[in-house]
Chains A and B, each alone.
Chain A
Amino acid sequence: MSQRKFTEHLQAQFFDLIGGVIEKKGRHVAQSYFYILRPMNDSSAAAVSKYSDLLAKVMKETPDNTFFIKLLKSTIDDLQVMEKGREASRTWLS
């Protein structure tokens, strides 16, 4: 079954909690947490802005945390590519 409707309301917490995991856990664990739990269902501009806001916060507060910054930047890239693909599909189907 699609689990999206059960997890959607929890996903906003990801942006508040992932920083703590990155800070406390080693690279391998933190990376697994990030990639497994990051919300990727929605590729709209509003969803991308959640990552952009977190990226801006991290770059301001801990600019040396390149590991976290790279994770966020790559996710924004992934979502933008996904959105382009979805847009192309919508155009093709219309």
Chain B
Amino acid sequence: MFLTIIASGSITDISTQHLVLEALFTSARNEDHIEMLVKWFDSGFVHDSNGQKLDIEISKKHKHSIMERIWSSEKMSLQFKEEMMAKLAKIDKSDWLDNTQKVCEAAHPENKEKMWKEYFNLGEDSQCADWGLLHF
């Protein structure tokens, strides 16, 4: 639905486009959707459902959101996910990258148990302690 809205060209305001795209990324819930987003990430542009490139650029912020979806994939290998993260690290070294890396680590299906244990490890040896999560 969000892709139909974007591809229709009816939204010309950049900030509205940004919001619709963020909603689209959040709604990407199956492997086909994620594969489509990988294509967008690599090309730097939105494509319609026929694969036709649209004149809508994928911003750095969008690439971070796409990365979070990629890491939640069940089918994509960890190696592929790390390669994609390396691509993101080449174009953005801001605080966003650190945040995205942490979100992605937790999003990777095989890490669920590890992360759950980390959340409830309240000692100073916890990885979460470095996040400032245990302080207020």
Interface residues of A (CB under 8 A from B): 1-3, 6-7, 10, 13, 17, 20-21, 24-29, 32-33, 37
Contacts and interface: CB of A to CB of B under 8 A. Distances in A.
Interface of B: 29-31, 34, 69, 72-74, 107, 109, 112-113, 116, 119-120, 122, 133-136
A3 B116 contact: no
Contacts of A20: 120, 122
B73 to A, nearest CB: 6
A21 B119 CA distance: 10
A13 B122 contact: no
Contacts of B73: 1
A6 B112 CA distance: 7
Given A25-B122, A37-B119, A2 B112 contact: no
A6 to B, nearest CB: 4
Contacts, number: 42
Contact of B136 (A7, A21, A28, A37): A28
B136 A10 contact: no
A10 B122 contact: no
A21 B122 contact: yes
B112 A21 contact: no
The 9 closest A-B pairs by CB, nearest first: A28-B136, A1-B72, A6-B112, A26-B136, A10-B116, A17-B120, A29-B136, A6-B109, A7-B112
Contacts of B133: 29, 32
22 contacts: A1-B29, A1-B34, A1-B69, A1-B72, A1-B73, A1-B109, A3-B72, A10-B112, A10-B113, A10-B116, A13-B116, A13-B120, A17-B120, A20-B122, A24-B122, A25-B122, A27-B136, A28-B136, A29-B134, A32-B133, A33-B119, A37-B119
A1 B120 contact: no
Nearest to B70: A1
